[in-house]
Structure 1
Amino acid sequence: MDNTIVAKDQLHHFSHDHSLSLVHLQPTHKNENADDEDEGEEKDDFVEEVRHGRECGMCKEQIGSFHLCYYYCKACDYSLHKFCAELPRTLQNNPLYPYHNLERTLDKYRFECFFCNLLWKDAYFYYCGFRYYKMCFICATTLEQKINHASHPHQLERMFERIVSRCGACGNKHDGFFFQCTTCLVFRINLDCALLPAKLLIQISTNGTFSHSHPLTLAYYFPESEYYAKFRPKCRVCNGMFLFHLWNYKCGKCLYYVHVDCATSKTPASLRKTYKNYKEEEHRNLLNCPFQDEGDNLLKHHMSNQHEGDIFNHSSHQHPLILFDKQTSVGKKPVSLHDPMKRVQLLCDGCVKPIMTVPFYVCCHYVDEQCCLVLHEWCAKLPSQIQDYFGHPEHPLVLLTKIPGKFFGVFECEVCKLDSNGFAYGCTTCRYYVDINCAFIPEEITHDSHPDHLILRVKSSSMEWCNACRRGVYKNWIFRCPSCDIYIDVQCALLLPRVIKHKLDKHTLSLRYEPAENHIEEYFCEICEDEFDPWRWFYHCTTCAQSMHTRCVPFILQCEQATNGYGGVYKFLNVKFGGTLEIKDHPHHLSFVQGVVSDGNCSNCLRRLKYEMIFKCMECEFALHYKCASSLV
């Protein structure tokens, strides 16, 4: 097209009654991944990006910052692309239709463009009087639409006709118009993505289930170094992964990242389902997790509140048990409830969980240090056996206070895979044992981390990754949301309470499932002082901005001395330390404890004792691994 019109600061155009002013634009799309001296000085106030006169009065398409300039009437809020405003009345030798001249006209009714086959209404078009062909303004200006977009170093030109192609910005297939690089022919972006705002404020979207109070900034790629430095974040809407070369929206004040499509809701099907996928009246006894605090657990919910009596004999103990309610006297030794804030430990010998409320059962000879059995009220009345257990339907599981042949009663639970020396249900024929908590795992639960969806107990047939701790579960029991294909392993779902208290913080710490708002700096555990991944569940106090690993939280006091660097829960959460052992060739008793750094190496195998179950002499520098001690007895 031969365009001989020279751009003027003022233009009188036939499509509008008033004079139009030429507006020069500065690209507002800024690559936030580039170095920026003012990056730390972002203002709190969000100013919505100027939409540049909304849309062109001729072609009806949006005017973007990359168009560099446009004509505008401020009084009427009327805009024109510069290239649309400068189109002549008559098109001669147009490359798309060189056969006849095309005359510009206005159609108040609906018409179809002969070239792109789109329907238009109340719009200008070019018309051939010989063949009655009609060409819309989009097709007429295609060759003139060249843009300089901040996302790419080369000029982009508009591709003729509507096509179906993958977009280089969002990575999805689009049916629409594209801009393509004249140098890098493989790079093309959809018109919708080209017009994405540089800043976006999401308040309510997708049935009001996700929101973020800070403006999100458009970034044109996700640098690999930043991606791994931020512990491989996932989209906060669809939980999907990010690709380094695709655009995303991110928050400058929080660790909040989201796909461009999820932020703009252009593909609602990919967004997290938020409607309830079950009816409450059909699931009246549905268990909601996490449990409120350390004193709450699965057995407490499963068993009834009726107790066995003020005094009764339990098969696990040679002495009668007394129901203790703070008014009861048990010898001269005081009985205090579990309280890590005061360094008081009281663990149930059945489930190995803290006893934080009365009443509970205690041995009538509790005054004797060697006879200090305590049981939750509900752990004292467990059934003697379980029929048709989901993990082992071949034989009934019998209640065992100690596993036969297991040194110090320690066994590995077949469901949660944690070591335990509490009560168990087991099949001695098949050597199949589960701790008493895992013996009553329900078929379905709900969880606050994934609200309104049933999460079902399934056995993984392949490697599945826990959404809480990001660890793999292979051919074992796990909870799965069938609607979203999200997994939570048994440990994280049932053993992490909603809130905890720690002596280092005067406030309660809450279980978090994603990074906290207004917290962009690194996360460090207040107990072990290691930096951690905030995309794994953790405990956090928003008032003090203090955080802790879920595995470091002091469910039992040994956790304050040494933690284990693997898993979502404390490694020995189901082990009650204590008791002594005598071995040959050593004059002193050995205490059953967890190893710490200062314990050094095993006196037998010479491997380090840190983070392991050990037997330690309190009078000299002698200590053994659990396995080494078992072989020497």
Structure 2
Amino acid sequence: MEQLQHFSHEHLLHLVQLQPDHDNENSDKEDEDEDEYKDDSVVEGPHVVKCEMCEEEIYSFHICYYSCKECDYSLHKFCAQLPETQQNHPLHPDHDLTLVRYTEYDVKWKCAICQLEREKELYRCEKCRYYVHVDCATSRKEAFMTSILMPAGWGKTHKNFKDEDHPNLIRCPFPDESVNLLMHHLINKGELVIKRKIDGEMFCHPHPLILFDTLLNVPVPLHDPMKSVELLCNGCVRPITDVPFYKCSQHHCDFVLHEWCTRLPSQIQDYHGHPEHTLVLLPKIPGEFLGVFTCEICLLDCNGFAYGCKHCAYYVDINCGFIPDVITHDAHPNHLLLRFKASPDPNFCKACSRWIDTTGFHCPTCDFYLHTKCALLLPRTIRHKYDKHALNLRYYPAENHSGEYFCEICEKELNPNRWFYHCSMCASSMHTECAPVKHQCERSAYFWLERSIFGYFNVKFGGRYKTEEHPHPVTFVQGTNYDGQCNVCDRELQDMIIGVRETLLSSMRLN
């Protein structure tokens, strides 16, 4: 068409022919051609103008393009002829994509391909908030690599491995919080003799531990987030939802251990993060107040058991001590994800969009990266007292979701292009960092926004301790806005790990 009324522009667009400029003996013929097309065509060098839709340059080899004679507005012929509706697009085959202008919507998204925000035309899914720039949706690179270059949750990938070659492959996410990496590593499928009673001193505990292997004689309620009941293992700091487990023989003591956490090996050699020295099992980190340390791998605070090198002050929580070399994940199905160590070149996690600055997993053939903690600590399903149904981990916006996305816990806006938990029955959503099953964490979710894992995911609060700083025992808790300021540094105690006297007459901040 010589003329085109395009939806993106108020004026009529005219087709402009492009011809290469040859300096040869036929120059007279070329002059005649130039006179013939001087009203409707332009003879230019390699770069003519920029397309307003894809923001890419228009070159002479494009042969022709559309331009407005009344203002500086141009389009590739290809871009001008893009359909307003894309059906069965390989990047998003489930729903139709509609071509819209950026300014027509209050878009707060990033592009599913390039993860950037640019004010330009884009394809938008009306059902699930899928956005993709025109140039990203039509690029030759994406068209050539559609089988593998896809963000989490969109399209399909071809399987690149055989199951029989990986018999012990860890498949993430784990079904729920009762299943974790340590369980996979330590539970032996054969028959084992289980001791009924073990000495607590081997775990830096002054009392004997008793095994409870049937539900009939369990003296404490098992972990149940729907009833705000919390029972956390002192070793791996994970919920105890079933037998068998060990509990302190003293009724007033809340020290408990998964049965498999009593089988931990005493040391780890050739650990990938610290191959220089052997890592030794440490029930408590020496010199750390109340045993709280920062794991070198996931960078989360922890007061559970650790593997560490005292010589180098290098400590990892016991879950991170058994990170596998390879996993698979539902967010990027059919491709193996290999463990890697962060490099100076920034790689961003698909779950939380944050820079991976320690270790993570990646697909070597795709631009797909995950933090170690995002891959291993976010279960597929959780239960929360704020919703009577189970909530599922979502990797992309929920279909037919009405209105804006808001977190049911913190009541702040939720970015649906980051992973989140969602109930399809109630259309309710939660930040992953706002939805831990630990009861204490429900009070202070605001401080941890923009992360994928709640900051105290690996911390067990409670218990009374004696300290040198105060003559009375203190209770180990998470600070709230009611706790005021620290008596030592005067900083606000909200969202901090603190030791507080039960009468709240004294408190101190922990490093």
**Pairwise same-fold verdict (TM > 0.5):** yes
Partner of 2:42: none
Residue of structure 1 aligned with 2:236, choices 337, 351, 375: 351
Counterpart amino acid of 2:172?
Answer: C
2:80 is the counterpart of 1:223? no
Report SS of the residue matched to 2:66: strand
- Structure 1: how far apart are the matches of 2:401 and 2:466? 51
Deviations 1:425-461 (A, max 9, x none): 0111111110000000001111111111111111111
Q: CA deviation at 1:242?
A: 4.9
Partner of 1:234: 111
TM-score, normalised to structure 2, is: 0.84
Shift in CA distance, 168/277, structure 1 to aligned 2, threshold 3 Å: farther
- Structure 2: how far apart are the matches of 1:591 and 1:382? 28
- Structure 2: how far apart are the matches of 1:585 and 1:191? 75
Q: Are 2:147 and 2:158, in contact at CA under 8 Å, matched by a contact in 1?
A: no
Partner of 1:611: 495
Q: Are 2:3 and 2:15, in contact at CA under 8 Å, matched by a contact in 1?
A: yes
Q: Are 2:225 and 2:384, in contact at CA under 8 Å, matched by a contact in 1?
A: yes
Counterpart amino acid of 1:190?
Answer: H
Which protein shows a greater Rg? 1
2:475 is the counterpart of 1:594? no
Residue of structure 2 aligned with 1:581, choices 452, 461, 465: 465
Deviations 1:392-412 (A, max 9, x none): 000110111111111111111
Q: CA deviation at 1:596?
A: 1.1
Where does 1:453-472 land on structure 2 (aligned, <5 Å)? 453-462=335-344, 463-472=346-355
Residue of structure 2 aligned with 1:256, choices 123, 127, 130: 130
Residue of structure 2 aligned with 1:361, choices 246, 262, 268: 246
Greater RCO (Cα-Cα under 8 Å, separation 6 or more): 2
The runs of 5 or more residues in structure 2 that have no matched partner are 21-45, 149-156
Shift in CA distance, 382/224, structure 1 to aligned 2, threshold 3 Å: farther
Q: Are 1:177 and 1:191, in contact at CA under 8 Å, matched by a contact in 2?
A: no
Residue of structure 1 aligned with 2:178, choices 275, 290, 295: 295
Partner of 1:80: none
- Structure 2: how far apart are the matches of 1:285 and 1:151? 54
Report SS of the residue matched to 1:473: coil
Partner of 2:10: 153
Q: CA deviation at 1:493?
A: 0.8
Residue of structure 2 aligned with 1:570, choices 451, 454, 457: 454
2:118 is the counterpart of 1:243? yes
Counterpart amino acid of 1:258?
Answer: V
Counterpart amino acid of 2:462?
Answer: G
Q: Are 1:594 and 1:614, in contact at CA under 8 Å, matched by a contact in 2?
A: yes
Partner of 1:322: 210
- Structure 2: how far apart are the matches of 1:521 and 1:549? 17
Q: Are 1:398 and 1:427, in contact at CA under 8 Å, matched by a contact in 2?
A: yes
Partner of 1:525: 407
Report SS of the residue matched to 1:478: strand
Counterpart amino acid of 1:346?
Answer: L
TM-score, normalised to structure 1, is: 0.68
Shift in CA distance, 239/541, structure 1 to aligned 2, threshold 3 Å: farther
- Structure 1: how far apart are the matches of 2:171 and 2:123? 33
- Structure 2: how far apart are the matches of 1:307 and 1:597? 49
Q: Are 2:16 and 2:64, in contact at CA under 8 Å, matched by a contact in 1?
A: yes
What is the percent sequence identity of the aligned residues? 48
Where does 1:199-218 land on structure 2 (aligned, <5 Å)? 199-202=85-88, 205-206=89-90, 210-213=92-95, 215-218=96-99
Residue of structure 2 aligned with 1:304, choices 187, 194, 213: 187
Residue of structure 1 aligned with 2:222, choices 337, 355, 358: 337
Q: CA deviation at 1:193?
A: 2.3
Counterpart amino acid of 2:489?
Answer: C
Counterpart amino acid of 2:241?
Answer: M
Q: Are 2:66 and 2:77, in contact at CA under 8 Å, matched by a contact in 1?
A: no
Report SS of the residue matched to 2:106: helix
Partner of 1:492: 374
- Structure 1: how far apart are the matches of 2:300 and 2:315? 11
Counterpart amino acid of 2:282?
Answer: L
Partner of 1:509: 391
- Structure 2: how far apart are the matches of 1:327 and 1:520? 43
Q: Are 2:197 and 2:211, in contact at CA under 8 Å, matched by a contact in 1?
A: yes
Shift in CA distance, 550/248, structure 1 to aligned 2, threshold 3 Å: same
Shift in CA distance, 604/320, structure 1 to aligned 2, threshold 3 Å: closer
Report SS of the residue matched to 1:551: helix
Counterpart amino acid of 1:426?
Answer: G
